[in-house]
Amino acid sequence: MTTKNLLIELFVEELPPKALKKLGEAFATQLADQLRALGLINGDSVTTAFASPRRLAAHISHVWLKANDKAVQQKLMPVAVGLDAAGHATPALIKKLQALGVDLSDPVAAVASLKRQPDGKADALFYDSLVSGATLDLGLQKALEEAIRLLPIPKVMTYQLERDCALPGWSSVQFVRPAHGLLALHGATVVPVRALGLTAGNITHGHRFEAAVSPVVIADADSYAATLARDGAVIASFAERKAEIARQLAAAAAKVGNGAHPIEDDALLDEVTALVERPNVLVCQFEKEFLDVPQECLILTMKANQKYFPLLDGAGRLTNQFLVVSNISPDDASAVIGGNERVVRPRLADAKFFFDQDRKKTLESRVAGLDKVVYHNKLGTQGERTERVRAIARDIGQQLGGEVLAEAADTAAKLAKSDLLTDMVGEFPELQGIMGGYYARHDGLSEDIAFGIEDHYRPRFAGDALPRTQVGLVVALADKLETLVGMFGIGNLPTGDKDPFALRRHALGVIRMLVERDLPLSLRKLSADAFAVFPAGTLQPAQEALEGFFAERLKGYLKDAGYAPAEVDAAIHAHGMTTWGDLPRRLAAVRAFAALPQSAALAAANKRIGNILKKAPEVDAHVSEVLLKEPAEVALFAAMKAVAPTANAQFEAGDYTASLQTLAALREPVDAFFDGVMVNAEELDLRLNRQGLLKSLHDAMNRVADLSRLAS
């Protein structure tokens, strides 16, 4: 029996564009998974997903018309239950066999055909049967129903089917959008499946306006995409349509010249791909006077409201031209171009109006209005929050740059939330901070303050740039710490995949600033100082929980950066919640140490020393030479006196790699010590002296990292 390729298509009304890509991939994947589970596709099968604004489809290769029969062994019951003392079938066994459809015309033969096999403490009876393989008709019906059920539909629509005069009343269906066609072809043969009130056939529909024929007849599964492109004027593949749009965007920008290029936005490209079936990119323009408005405003309104691709020049500045992805390709596109230009003009005019109106009031004059904006019912208003952020920012500024930085950070923090009360941010919340920077410059404030206001939300997402200036860095740290401390203090913690206040993102932002800018700040002190700015009784004790939250985020951040879990644990456990700026150097040192031949033995010894010292927590790192009796402890003490000063000097100079490599010379005397010295000697003074020697060694070896974490 040979296989043939299968094509399934659901033809529907326009699907939600932001969900189309995911829906198309899920539909194809679920169909293939269900057919594979039924044994209807072989190991060489390849699944290709198709998704356009009005269709979800899947091409699946190497599909059987019928799955192979399958041998199945079924446990019936224990032998003691199924057979009596004479070996005859009991009523319980007879009933079970009847339920399975076993021929009982000869009960003795039926029982003889059963297998006896050990099953735990007793033997059991097993029945071998041959289960007929699923047919494509029935298997595809089941697979299609399951694929539709499992689709990640953002919002279900309920609609009524066309009334069948032979049936009383109305029938309703629930799906993402009303479905109007079902196509199912196994090779060139229609598979008679049903779904959403539709019966499968071999026809579909092409472009609403530009299809060459309607309906479009699909001859066989393999001609689907080519027939739709030729007769239906539709590029069925989401990936191919996206690539074609990207190609046309680049070609249109090249014709404009002067280094023009469309803004890069993969999410916008996906959304536009989901809006058109036959893309046609056109160049449009708007009046240059609108370029006086901050380009972020113009770009956002063109992208968010119109799904246009703004054109930037070679220097990255916005031009007065933009690209439109049309779904039609008329011989004369002037009407399409003119229509889009007319549509965008009021949007840009609104942005210009908001910008002009906002600049009539200073940011300073808006600060008082924050007292009327509720931030959180347990944490007060935005005005109260601003005062807390200012206090934290002043403290951090003092630590990093003295009074000058503290004053600048205080000013930026005071004004940072003022743009929330502007018309522009009211219309485009995504521009908060950015507009504050523009308005600060208009008010005559310094670039330092303007950048501090603009950047205090950074990093906004994974991979986003950090604040550009010290002022921005300080205010961003203060803003994120205030949020984290406040939310932890009132019990609003992230759970599972839910994080409505983006606390994970805020914590990662703090970590990135501390580590990547090598800031000499202690996370423990930062969080304690942030808790202190809240009024007494506002928050519950939560500093320990917050520090644990930071520690987990830090581990994830470092592991994502490519460090092994053992390396990360070693560096973090030695360092705790103190300054994290030098963690990259510590991790590099740990990695270099782990590559040394002495590392495994020293890590194991370090772990052993740690276990010994846990039982003697009061021991200090003091050694009396006169109490050193055994040659091995004398040799270890001498080696430490020779090595430790150099290692300590290297550590103080920040050369952690050299410090650990210097300490690697202790491997042989450490091994000899444990081979020849009884640490827990009966004499108290000897025991304490040896424990002190180990404490000195432990302290020296673990300044860079907890090397015991490297022990396997």
- Specify the range with the lowest mean pLDDT, choosing from 206-215, 269-278, 587-596: 587-596
**Was domain 366-562 assigned CATH 1.10.3470?**
no
Q: Is 90 exceeded by the pLDDT of residue 350?
A: yes
What single letter denotes the amino acid at residue 292? Answer: D
Mean pLDDT, rounded, for 78-87: 83
How far is Cα 172 from Cα 194, in angstroms, rounded to an integer? 15
* Residue 100 scores a pLDDT above 90: no
Stronger pLDDT, 76 or 445, i.e. the higher one: 445
**CA 564, CA 587: separation in Å to the nearest integer?**
10
Whole-number mean pLDDT of the chain? 91
pLDDT band (50, 70, 90) for residue 163: low
Q: How many CA atoms lie within 13 A of 682 on its CB side?
A: 0
- Find the mean pLDDT for residues 573-598: 84
Confidence of residue 211 (pLDDT cuts 50, 70, 90): very high
pLDDT digits (tens, 9 = 90+) for 639-674: 999 998 999 999 899 899 999 899 888 889 888 988
| Whole-number pLDDT of residue 430 | 93
- Amino acid at site 387: E
Cα 71 from chain centre: 43
In angstroms, rounded to a whole number, what is the distance separating the alpha carbons of residues 383 and 365? Answer: 13
Concatenate the DSSP letters of all residues of 385-451 into one string.
HHHHHHHHHHHHHHHHHHHHHHHHHHHHHHHTTGGGGSHHHHH-GGGTTHHHHHHHHHTT--HHHHH
User: What's the confidence (pLDDT) of residue 321?
Assistant: 96
Structure tokens at 213: 């024929």
Q: Give the rounded percent of residues in the chain with a pLDDT score beyond 90.
A: 64
Residue 132 predicted with pLDDT over 90: no
Q: What is the pLDDT of residue 162?
A: 65
The CA-based diameter of the chain, rounded to the nearest angstrom, is: 109
pLDDT, tens digit (0-9, with 9 covering 90-100), for 213-233:
999 999 999 999 999 999 999
Q: For residue 518, which of 578, 465, 562, 584 has the smallest C-alpha distance?
A: 584
The whole-number pLDDT of residue 602 equals 86
Question: What does the alpha-carbon distance between residue 497 and residue 173 come to, in Å, rounded to a whole number?
Answer: 31
**HEC-encoded secondary structure of 602-660:** HHHHHHHHHHHHHCCCCCCCCCCHHHCCCHHHHHHHHHHHHHHHHHHHHHHCCCHHHHH
Lowest mean pLDDT across 276-280, 312-316, 670-674: 670-674
Q: How many CB atoms lie within 10 A of CB 371?
A: 13
List pLDDT tens digits, range 351-387: 999 999 999 999 999 999 999 999 999 999 999 999 9
The CA radius of gyration of the chain, in Å to the nearest whole number, is 36
The most confident of 121-135, 235-249, 483-497, 558-572, by mean pLDDT: 235-249
Element (H or E) spanning 682, and its range? none
Q: Does residue 681 register a pLDDT over 90?
A: no
Q: Is pLDDT above 80 for 577? A: no
pLDDT at 422 over 80: yes
Phi, psi of 52, deg, nearest 5? -130, 175
Contacts of 186 (CB under 8 A, 6+ apart): 4, 5, 6, 63, 65, 136, 221
Burial letters 323-349, b for 16+ CB under 10 A, else e: bbbbbeeeeeeeebbeebeeebeebbe
| pLDDT value at 576 more than 70 | no
pTM: 0.80
Q: Which two tokens stand for residue 374?
A: 């509720």
Kindly tell me the burial class for residue 687, based on how many C-beta atoms sit within 10 Å of its own C-beta (0-12, 13-18, 19 or more): middle
pLDDT band at 169; cut points 50, 70, 90: low
pLDDT band for 311, please (50, 70, 90 cuts): very high
Look at residue 154 in the predicted model and tell me its pLDDT. Answer: 87
Bigger pLDDT: 683 vs 106: 683
DSSP state of 88: P
pLDDT > 80? residue 164: no
- 126 DSSP β-pair partners: 75, 115
- Write down the domain spans for the chain: 4-67+135-231, 71-131, 238-358, 366-562, 583-710
Tokens of 303: 């992208």
3-state secondary structure 528-575: HHHHHCCCCCCCCCCHHHHHHHHHHHHHHHHHHCCCCHHHHHHHHHHH
pLDDT on residue 484 = 97
| SS3 of residue 175 by DSSP | strand
Lowest-confidence segment of 138-152, 182-196, 243-257, 630-644 by average pLDDT: 630-644
What's the pLDDT at 333?
93
Confidence of residue 80 (pLDDT cuts 50, 70, 90): confident
Q: Please, are residues 358 and 424 in contact by the beta-carbon 8 Å criterion?
A: yes
Residue 331: DSSP 8-state: S
Per-residue pLDDT at 608: 87
pLDDT of 709 reads 87
Fold assignment, 583-710: Isoleucyl-tRNA Synthetase; Domain 1 (1.10.730)
Instruction: Report residue 202: phi and psi, to 5°.
Output: -125, 20
Question: 245 pLDDT exceeds 80?
Answer: yes
> Predicted confidence band at 242 (pLDDT cuts at 50, 70, 90)?
very high
Question: By the 8 A CB rule, do 667 and 611 touch?
Answer: no
Strand partners, 261: 312
Host H or E run for residue 51: strand 47-52
pLDDT at 130 over 80: no
Cα–Cα distance list, 100 to 23, 81, 129 (Å): 41, 17, 10
Helix (H) or strand (E) holding 491: none
What is the per-residue pLDDT for 170? Answer: 65
Read off the amino acid at residue 194: R
- Cβ-proximal residues to 55 (8 Å cutoff; 6+ apart), any chain: 9, 10, 11, 12, 204, 234, 236
510-524 tens-digit pLDDT: 999 999 999 999 999
- In this structure, what is the dihedral angle of CA atoms 243, 247, 252, 258, given to the nearest 10 degrees? 120
pLDDT number for residue 457: 96
Tell me phi and psi for residue 171, to 5 degrees: -115, 135
582 vs 162, more confident = 582
Degrees, nearest 5: CA angle 334-336-342: 100
Distance CA 573, CA 585 (A): 15
Give residue 539's pLDDT band: very low, low, confident or very high (50, 70, 90): very high
pLDDT tens-digit map of 429-482: 999 999 999 999 999 999 999 999 999 999 998 889 999 999 999 999 999 999
φ, ψ (nearest 5 deg) of residue 173 = -130, 150
pLDDT at 72: 77
Within 13 Å, how many C-alpha atoms sit on residue 251's CB side?
10
Q: How far apart are CA 661 and CA 672, in angstroms?
A: 19
Question: pLDDT class for 687, splitting at 50, 70, 90?
Answer: confident
Least-confidence region, from 99-113, 500-514, 528-542: 99-113
Chain centroid, CA 680 distance in Å: 52
Return the amino acid letter for 73: Q
Strands 47-52 and 55-63: antiparallel
So what's the pLDDT on residue 126? Answer: 87
